[in-house]
Chains A and B, each alone.
Chain A
């Protein structure tokens, strides 16, 4: 899959992925963060971070609370993090967010964490496809399917 095959937002399948990408890990992140788009009919909103460690637990929770079905964070590999320990810190925050989501039965598996190979120009495309594929398997967030008293 290449960036060219990423579609503009259409009907979609009702699944939403909010993705965060370290600005240093993919040159394509800047282009893709301009507007929402679709991959495999999953609507994706991508935001660049100056470093993956800028991710906060709250970013993940709020995304799911306000309608996302999944959240992805793409970091640099540990040995090429420009800020040394950025991706390690990011992983710890993602782990905490997953723990909270497990506690409340939304499911920690809806949060994807992956490092992008800096030598692979298609790394972001592959990660996008993997995340959207996993999200299609998981289906809609339980927050969207629950009835309210």
Chain B
């Protein structure tokens, strides 16, 4: 899922001082799962903003709404009346949601209330970890399900780099060395020999280097 993190309330409040009707809009999918932008975070953000704006001498109304998703036109439409009634929207959705809200409600200002951080999963309560870099050419089977693009600090295709110590990365002693994990897993599977084959240089045009990407599913495209 997409993982996001709350912004400092002051960073948001500073952009709102000239508005009277503010809507804090949450998204009940990925950002709700990572506790950055669901209904509960909308209520917390709205309450904090009301106080922060009052302390700035602003008399603004801060309303709250949460869409099932802000990245689907049909579901955005369900919150359209609240958005239309507001002067400005603070979106707690990921960057995709904020962009879609801009496309739908232009020229209404939509201010991001969270930072979209990575594609990952919940390792345990309160901890989310990056697991995919969306590089557009998945070969994770070669590395036993551990993506070296997302999890190696240097995104090495043929690792390890030699900088790791006791299975930890040289950039952060708390960070597992991805290549240490790959080797240990392949060893346990008795498939360490698969690493004898050199992985050729990657074609990064499928990733961000190829510019903004698009996916077409022809049989449903209209």
What's the Cα separation between A49 and B196 when bound, in Å? Answer: 60
| A residues less than 8 Å from B55 (CB atoms) | 104-106, 142-143, 146
B200 within 8 A of A: no
Query: Are A149 and B44 interface neighbours, CB within 8 A?
Result: no
| A residues less than 8 Å from B156 (CB atoms) | none
A58 within 8 A of B: yes
What's the Cα separation between A65 and B64 when bound, in Å? Answer: 15
Distance to closest chain B CB from A10 (angstroms):
28
Distance to closest chain A CB from B88 (angstroms):
17
| A residues less than 8 Å from B59 (CB atoms) | 148-149
* A58-B58 CB under 8 A given contacts A64-B51, A104-B52: no
| A residues less than 8 Å from B9 (CB atoms) | 100, 103-104
Contact of B50 among A58, A65, A142 (CB under 8 A): A65
| A residues less than 8 Å from B80 (CB atoms) | none
Query: Are A146 and B57 interface neighbours, CB within 8 A?
Result: yes
Query: Are A106 and B44 interface neighbours, CB within 8 A?
Result: no
| B residues less than 8 Å from A147 (CB atoms) | 57
A62 within 8 A of B: yes
Interface residue tally on B, bucketed by range: 10 to 19
A30 within 8 A of B: no
B48 within 8 A of A: yes
What's the Cα separation between A148 and B13 when bound, in Å? Answer: 15
A115-149 Cβ-contact flags toward B at 8 Å (1 or 0): 00000000000000000000000000011001111
* A100-B44 CB under 8 A given contacts A146-B55, A147-B57, A149-B58: yes
Query: Are B44 and A61 interface neighbours, CB within 8 A?
Result: yes
Leading 10 A-B pairs by shortest Cβ distance: A104-B52, A61-B47, A149-B57, A148-B59, A103-B9, A58-B43, A65-B47, A100-B48, A58-B44, A65-B51
A-B contact pairs, 27 of them (CB 8 A): A56-B40, A58-B40, A58-B43, A58-B47, A61-B48, A64-B51, A65-B47, A103-B9, A103-B10, A104-B10, A104-B48, A104-B51, A104-B52, A104-B55, A105-B52, A106-B51, A106-B55, A143-B51, A146-B54, A146-B55, A146-B57, A147-B57, A148-B57, A148-B58, A148-B59, A149-B58, A149-B59
Q: Which residues of B contact A (CB under 8 A)?
A: 8-10, 13, 40, 43-44, 47-48, 50-52, 54-55, 57-59
